[in-house]
Structure 1
Amino acid sequence: MEYSPPPLFKQGAPARVKVTVFALVSIALLVVDARLHALDAVRQVAATVLYPLQMAALVPRDALSNMGDYFSSVSALQKEVRDLKSQQVAQAQAMQEAQLQMAENAHLRRLMDARAHLPVHSMMSEILYDARDPSTRRVVLDRGARAGIKLGLPVIDNAGVVGQVTRVFPFTSEVTLLTDKEQAIPVQVLRSGLRSVAYGRGHSGLLDL
């Protein structure tokens, strides 16, 4: 007696046969599409139908990317705000210093203009001889009280201050040079603004600070 499986469990074609058939069909479709472009319309329809699904699948990725960009933008903006605040503080300090410097310059200009309008009286004089006291650094000039010389006036040459009038006579005056050991004068280094007092060293002709 021959046995046959019931219709519910009836077996079809073997799996290898199915794989072979599907492979041949796929190869045939590839050849036809490559030669005749017969599946272009089908491909266009499939792409149109699947486009919403593709966009829906990309939503989580785009959302994560946008969130990352948002937080990166927030961090960048916060850093930029901090940098701008620092620059604002630095610029405010620089502006205050510039305003102070402008005010000082304006004040100096006013002083210079005032000095420019003040009459500066000066006169030429000639050294007659050195003072009789050999222990001092003094000279006698050919101008005195009758020429307007007064006690304490500075004496200068082409290099700067050389001494001060310490005695006045009717026709002559005596000048104590800066190199005299009893003479002192305030000085300032223009480059650094350092102030000091220069003292004479006597016969050496030098100064001490």
Structure 2
Amino acid sequence: MRHITVEPPPFFHRGPSPLARLAFFGLISLALLFADTRYRYLENIRQVAAVVLYPVVRAVELPGEALGFAGTYFSSLRQLASNNAELRTQLLAQAPAAQGYPLLEQENARLRALSKVEARFHGPATAAEVLYTGRDPFTQKVFVNKGEAAGVLPGQAVIDELGVVGQVTRVFPHMSEVTLLTDKDQAVPVKVERSGVRSVMYGAGTGRLPELRFLSPNAEIQQGDRLLTSGLDGTYPAGLAVAVVASVERETGQIFARVTCKPLAGVDSSGQLLILGQATAAPPRPEEPAEADAPRKGRGRRRG
């Protein structure tokens, strides 16, 4: 029986064996490497290839860079949101303290001014703070946090850094009642700083300015004059600022001039006050002289 040999068509011819091809291309690669390393023959070819293939390289790199940028961006957004929330929390926590700073500065300024006033006053003084106002809307009174335990006594003068505020009228163990100089039952002996004219300033009650009563129309006083304590009553030391003259009305036919005054002290606004100790007691007022004996009846008979 005869064997028939079938050969593959020409287009299926595979050429040299794979091992031969590997050896061939390996030798070519080694030769090119040696030539490039020794003589730099392929330097220009590499540069041209790099320029030609750069768009392809960038096209391959762009998706990765875009993903990295997006990740960094969203991570930064989350970090910024977290920082923003933390800063908001801190701001809300510090807002009350920040709003209180101006008040603290004003309070410190008033305390410094009070300390200067205390240094000028030759006598004991007690710093006090207003707790609350009186309940009666028709009286002008406040309560302070110093009382009998601090040595406060009824009748002591009360001032702030600008002038006279009022007078202690009642004392409790740990607080005191202060009647303001605008109260209708208060009277403060004063004198005009410019002319020395003496008078008494009376409170007029809620919503009204104090007045100088029983002042002659020709008294030397005018709008803008400062009024100081005269010290004649023994309660208020002499020379304390009290008020400024707001208006002077001299009407024809009136016996007295009508003078209104505006208190210099923060009567309705001061929170820190100074209670002045009792001034040196004035000697007692002399007794009024006894009335002259009535003429005796029938001192002598008329002679006829």
TM superposition score normalised by structure 1: 0.52
1:70 aligns with 2:73: yes
Mapping of residues 1-209 of structure 1, within 5 Å = 4-120=7-123
Instruction: State the shift of 1:120 in Å.
Output: 2.1
| Matched letter for residue 52 of structure 2 | V
**Shift in CA distance, 115/43, structure 1 to aligned 2, threshold 3 Å:** same
**Residues 151-172 of structure 1: per-residue CA shift (max 9 Å, x gap):** xxxxxxxxxx9x9xxxxxxxxx
Greater RCO, CA 8 A, separation 6+:
2
2: CA distance, partners of 1:10 / 1:105 = 107
**Shift in CA distance, 11/53, structure 1 to aligned 2, threshold 3 Å:** closer
Count of residues in correspondence between the two structures: 125
Between 16-25 and 79-88, the greater mean CA deviation after superposition = 79-88
| Matched letter for residue 28 of structure 2 | V
**Shift in CA distance, 117/40, structure 1 to aligned 2, threshold 3 Å:** same
2: CA distance, partners of 1:98 / 1:2 = 110
1: CA distance, partners of 2:15 / 2:28 = 19
Instruction: State the shift of 1:7 in Å.
Output: 2.0
TM superposition score normalised by structure 2: 0.37
**Residues 64-122 of structure 1: per-residue CA shift (max 9 Å, x gap):** 1111111111012112212322332344333233323222222222322333333328x
Instruction: State the shift of 1:2 in Å.
Output: 6.7
**Shift in CA distance, 28/65, structure 1 to aligned 2, threshold 3 Å:** same
* Greater percentage in strand: 2
**Residues 24-73 of structure 1: per-residue CA shift (max 9 Å, x gap):** 11111111111101000111111111111111111111111111111111
**Shift in CA distance, 6/95, structure 1 to aligned 2, threshold 3 Å:** closer
Between 29-38 and 109-118, the greater mean CA deviation after superposition = 109-118
Instruction: State the shift of 1:11 in Å.
Output: 3.8
* Greater percentage in helix: 1
Instruction: State the shift of 1:22 in Å.
Output: 0.7
Note the residue ranges of structure 1 that are not aligned, 5 or more in a row: 122-160, 164-184, 187-209
Percent pairwise identity: 39
Instruction: State the shift of 1:3 in Å.
Output: 5.3
1: CA distance, partners of 2:102 / 2:24 = 92
2: CA distance, partners of 1:87 / 1:11 = 80
| Matched letter for residue 118 of structure 1 | F
| Matched letter for residue 51 of structure 2 | T
Dislocated runs of 4+, deviation >3 Å: 1-5
1: CA distance, partners of 2:76 / 2:14 = 63
